[in-house]
Amino acid sequence: MMIRLLFLCLMFAVGCKREPEGSHPYEDRVLIQYNTEDLSELVYDYIAELKHDNHLFFETGYIASGANESILRLEFSTQNIMELSEARALLVDTVEGMLSRLNNSRVGFSLQPYPLTADQLELYIDFQSFHGVHVDPFFIGWVALEQGMAYYYAFNLENDRLDFWNSRTEPYAKSRSFVMLERQGEAKYKAKHPHKEKKLGDTHFYPENVAGTKRSPIGKNFHNT
């Protein structure tokens, strides 16, 4: 418990150090303590929403900044069972929700560049369903967003008995476009095919006025005795 509390206290520490030319963008991050209470409150409000609405459970994360760039890293786990299209929608909704909160808040103005985009987010979702591990390894087992690229891996990535795995890599912008187009198509279909409620009206499968029978609570006919 103390370890988790210590980590949470450090998770939103911010580093400020210029990166040398040609260096890896994740190297030489220096974490420096500073007041991040407003940012922590904003992120934790969103984490609570993701937990209850999408069954995403926060594991760890931090925010760091380099040469005019801020990086927010969040890691989640979930028991959700999803195929590619569902996992893609989950990633897009999570990213867009986080960006909306950051870019429309006072604390977001202190993060560079402004407004933040998906390029400034590192997001990881570890799918831990028993079904994916032991029953069907072709469900999504791991999703990652790094440097504007989205990665989707099936559960067979984590199976050391297999020598292959199923995966898909695409720009985040493409993931977002796929999700928006799919939802647009669904909305158009529903507009053209409104749902019609089926009503039985006065029709009875087992009329009570049939001589010698009566309707039971479970819909079967029983002869009077």
C-alpha 94/C-alpha 137 separation (Å) is 24
Are 56 and 76 spatial neighbours (Cβ–Cβ below 8 Å)? yes
Strands 70-78, 57-65: pairing kind: antiparallel
- Which pLDDT value is given to residue 148? 95
Residue 8: pLDDT band (50, 70, 90) is very low
CA torsion angle 124 35 108 9 (round to 10): 20
Q: What is the pLDDT of residue 70?
A: 86
74, pLDDT greater than 80:
yes
Residue-level pLDDT at 216: 44
Contact 140, 166 (CB under 8 A): no
Q: Is the pLDDT of residue 21 over 90?
A: no
Query: From CA 123, how far away is CA 145, in angstroms rounded?
Result: 5
Instruction: Give the pLDDT confidence score for residue 54 in this predicted structure.
Output: 95
Q: How far is Cα 102 from Cα 214, in angstroms, rounded to an integer? A: 65
The listed range with the strongest mean pLDDT (28-42, 126-140, 185-199) is: 185-199
Arithmetic mean of pLDDT, 166-193 = 92
pLDDT in tens, 92-102: 999 999 999 99
Domain boundaries, the chain: 2-198
Q: Which residue has the higher pLDDT, 225 or 69?
A: 69
The tokens describing 132, both together, are 């994916």
pLDDT, tens digit (0-9, with 9 covering 90-100), for 198-218: 665 555 555 555 555 554 444
The pLDDT of residue 116:
92
Identify the CA nearest to 96 among candidates 40, 153, 145, 167. Answer: 145
Residue pLDDT, tens place only, 120-149: 999 999 998 877 667 777 789 899 999 999
Q: What is the pLDDT of residue 10?
A: 40
C-alpha distances in Å from residue 64, one per residue of 13, 29, 72, 213: 7, 7, 7, 77
Per the prediction, the chain carries an average pLDDT of 76
Distance CA 184, CA 188 (A): 6
Structure tokens at 211: 């001589």
Residue 23 pLDDT more than 60? no
